[in-house]
Copies of this chain bind each other. A is one copy, B any other.
């Protein structure tokens, strides 16, 4: 295909090709759909995880999140429960029957999370950890790739190409803000990059306004903005008691906040022409060929 041949990332390139749908459990992520990934930033305790998941599900989450491994700037910060949290995740995942999204920091984590994580997330700091991308691409599970904090859209798509090249096209991109001079937000959420990534690739693109702004009051406005811009879904942090969170409390939504936001997002997604109810398998699955 001509378009493909001219791009530096032929496997994920867009153009005439139909935009892809990535199947996650019974759900699809991508063109014409709406995904809401919600849950705590990190798995902390059974109670904390349960409360956050209840709020997420009540808000209409299509996937749950909650990390076992945290990528922390300081070695003295909470690093996640690791294998110690697997049983807690397994419990909530079974309880609600929803797919689980969680970060892997290292190839060795792939085995630990194999039974409980449905979507492997590669974090912003690892966007160019190509060994990790390759290993994720070989698992057969969908891979979510967060944009690096100073990565161009082209570099982001090339990171996806590493996964594709390793064997999997079940890739979801996630915009989470870039680093600029502006100090009033933790990062600068770059929504035009969502549109550009959708133009230049066939991959679904979702947005994380929690990490993208770092501030609770900005999460809902930016989540709505992301859907209006055409994002295929939203991922948000939820915590019932954010003041006690071991990680990123100031950006976590409270249960009632995520409930209100979920309803608004679904309404807006319908207005934007998306199929919002959990989809059954389409007659013929769209996939890049």
Pairwise interchain contact B125-A105, C-beta atoms closer than 8 A: no
Given the complex, which residues of B lie within 8 Å of A217, measured CB to CB? 195, 199
> How distant is the Cα of A188 from the Cα of B191 in the complex, in angstroms?
8
Q: How many copies does the complex hold?
A: 4
Q: What is the CB-to-nearest-CB distance from A32 to chain B, in angstroms, rounded to a whole number?
A: 16
> How distant is the Cα of A183 from the Cα of B226 in the complex, in angstroms?
20
> How distant is the Cα of A147 from the Cα of B32 in the complex, in angstroms?
35
Pairwise interchain contact A183-B149, C-beta atoms closer than 8 A: no
> How distant is the Cα of A217 from the Cα of B227 in the complex, in angstroms?
16
User: Which chain B residue lies CB-closest to A271?
Assistant: B271
Pairwise interchain contact A191-B193, C-beta atoms closer than 8 A: no
> How distant is the Cα of A149 from the Cα of B196 in the complex, in angstroms?
21
User: Which chain B residue lies CB-closest to A183?
Assistant: B152
A contacts with B, residue count (CB < 8 A): 61
Given the contacts A75-B165, A218-B192, A229-B224, A182 and B152 also touching, CB distance less than 8 Å = yes
Given the complex, which residues of B lie within 8 Å of A75, measured CB to CB? 130, 158, 161-162, 165
Q: What is the CB-to-nearest-CB distance from A225 to chain B, in angstroms, rounded to a whole number?
A: 4
Q: Is A230 an interface residue (CB 8 A)?
A: yes
User: Which chain B residue lies CB-closest to A181?
Assistant: B179
Q: Is A221 an interface residue (CB 8 A)?
A: yes
> How distant is the Cα of A60 from the Cα of B43 in the complex, in angstroms?
50
Select one of B74, B180, B185, B221 contacting A180, CB under 8 A: B180
Q: Is A213 an interface residue (CB 8 A)?
A: yes
- Counting from the closest, the 5 A-B pairs by CB-CB distance are A150-B150, A228-B228, A225-B229, A125-B128, A225-B225
Selected A-B contacts with CB under 8 Å, 16 pairs: A72-B130, A74-B158, A106-B131, A152-B181, A152-B183, A152-B184, A153-B182, A179-B181, A180-B180, A185-B192, A185-B196, A189-B191, A191-B191, A191-B222, A195-B222, A268-B271
